[in-house]
Amino acid sequence: MSTGETPPVAPLELPSETPPGARATLRPRPAGRPRRTSSRPDGTAAVVDCAVYVDGRRQEPVRPEDALRVAEERGGFVWLGLYAPTGEELGTIAEEYDLHPLAVEDAVYAHQRPKLERYDDALFMVLKTATYIEHEELTATSEVVDTGEVMVFLAERYVITVRHGEHSGLADLRHRLEEQRDLLCLGSAAVLYAVADLVVDTFVEVAGAVEEDVEELEASVFSPERTDDVGRLYQLKRELMSLRRAVSPLEVPLQKLAERPVDVVPEAMRSYFRDVFDHAIRVRDQVSGLDELLTSILQASLARTQMADNEDMRKISAYAGIIAVPTAIAGIYGMNFEYMPELDERWGYPAVLLVILTAIVLLYRGFKRNGWL
């Protein structure tokens, strides 16, 4: 019998394979897996920014190797931002922060699906980023959506963001977040929320821009002019698939953060993640709707092309039938027999021409009435 009490929610259980006290080192590259090279310009460092935050305020600058110690002493957390680190660079940081080797490997080689994993008392989250590529005219080879990745290592005393892709900068986000002291006071999970919120908001903008391309193609397909839009439709559908692969898998990680207790995510942060989750659901539905609309437009374009081909074939057949009449009569008289109808009559030639013209006019009117011409 029910007691009227709400049953306790089970804590978030995710795979954990790190033995207590084990140090994280980057595993050897698996055989056959291509080595990923850094996409950073020559001479630039992997560490973009490093700061310690205590009570929602950024502290004086510290070196990355001293940041974790300072954060632990002052009761704050470190936000270390990295851009396209190599295996050696991230391996050094992994030793300092005791990161799990599986998560480190994913952060180096990238090309991961959005996911959320737990390793001991830390979380590792992968988010796909996207940007809309401006173009004057959509063609069959236009690049419309470009994707990147942001990986987040999250623990009580640190948050490490690893970016891949030139469009996924977090500098502006860091500045905006530093102005929201109340949010930063909630701990390192506030950074994960801010990153996820920025990623989802960018998805909304990209989906809106792609929707304009879809509307332009829709108008072209159903315009009175005869156009060939199959190539452009197929290309846009492929580009939209990239966005869909970034948006759809993000639903499950955000739902876990919003609905299930996580040690490193305070209870007060769950409402923030619920808001991001709601936005992600809306943009997922928007992208799915655009994909279905593109499929319908593509089918309509193919059907319209087939109808145009059938119309051309009817016209060709009608004109071939009209031309067959004078061809047949001329062929008969061209056999050069001695006794032919009206062959010796003065009015024979005009009479045959009149018969040919009459037959052509009657056939043309018949085909025109039936819609073949």
Cα 219 from chain centroid (whole Å)? 23
What percent of the chain stands above pLDDT 70?
Answer: 86
Q: Is the pLDDT of residue 17 over 90?
A: no
For the stretch 21-78, pLDDT in tens is: 443 344 444 444 444 444 555 556 789 999 999 999 999 999 988 999 999 999 999 9
Mean pLDDT of the chain: 83
Q: Is the pLDDT of residue 174 over 50?
A: yes
Q: Is the pLDDT of residue 141 over 60?
A: yes
* pLDDT grade for 110, boundaries at 50, 70 and 90: confident
Rounded mean pLDDT, 208-216 = 92
Higher-confidence position of 155 and 35:
155
Using CB atoms within 10 A of its CB, is residue 372 exposed (0-12), middle (13-18) or buried (19+)? middle
| Cβ 69 vs Cβ 157: under 8 Å | no
Looking from the CA of 73 toward its CB, the CA atoms found within 13 Å total: 7
Q: What is the pLDDT of residue 255?
A: 93
For the stretch 320-344, pLDDT in tens is: 888 888 888 788 777 776 666 666 6
Intervals of CATH 1.20.58 along the chain: 314-369
Query: In CATH, what class is 314-369?
Result: mainly alpha
Structure tokens at 8: 């306790």
Rounded mean pLDDT, 277-304 = 91
Rounded mean pLDDT, 85-104 = 91
Q: What is the pLDDT of residue 31?
A: 44
- Among 36-45, 204-213, 221-230, 341-350, where is mean pLDDT lowest? 36-45
Q: What is the pLDDT of residue 300?
A: 85
Query: What is the C-alpha to C-alpha distance for residues 1 and 341, in angstroms, rounded to an integer?
Result: 109
| Cβ 291 vs Cβ 244: under 8 Å | yes
* Full strand arrangement of the beta sheet holding 115-119: 57-58, 47-54, 77-83, 158-164, 145-154, 122-132, 115-119
- Among 20-24, 119-123, 137-141, 148-152, where is mean pLDDT lowest? 20-24
User: Which of 26-30, 37-41, 302-306, 356-360 is the most confident on average?
Assistant: 356-360
Dihedral, 82, 83, 89, 92 alpha carbons, nearest 10: 10
Residues in the chain: 373
| CATH ID of 15-180, from 3.90.550.10, 3.30.70.360, 3.40.50.1580, 3.30.460.20 | 3.30.460.20
Query: What is the C-alpha to C-alpha distance for residues 126 and 63, in angstroms, rounded to an integer?
Result: 26
Beta strand 158-164 with 77-83 is: parallel
Q: Is the dihedral of CA 359, 361, 362, 365 positive or negative?
A: positive
Intervals of CATH 3.30.460.20 along the chain: 15-180
Q: Is the pLDDT of residue 252 over 90?
A: yes
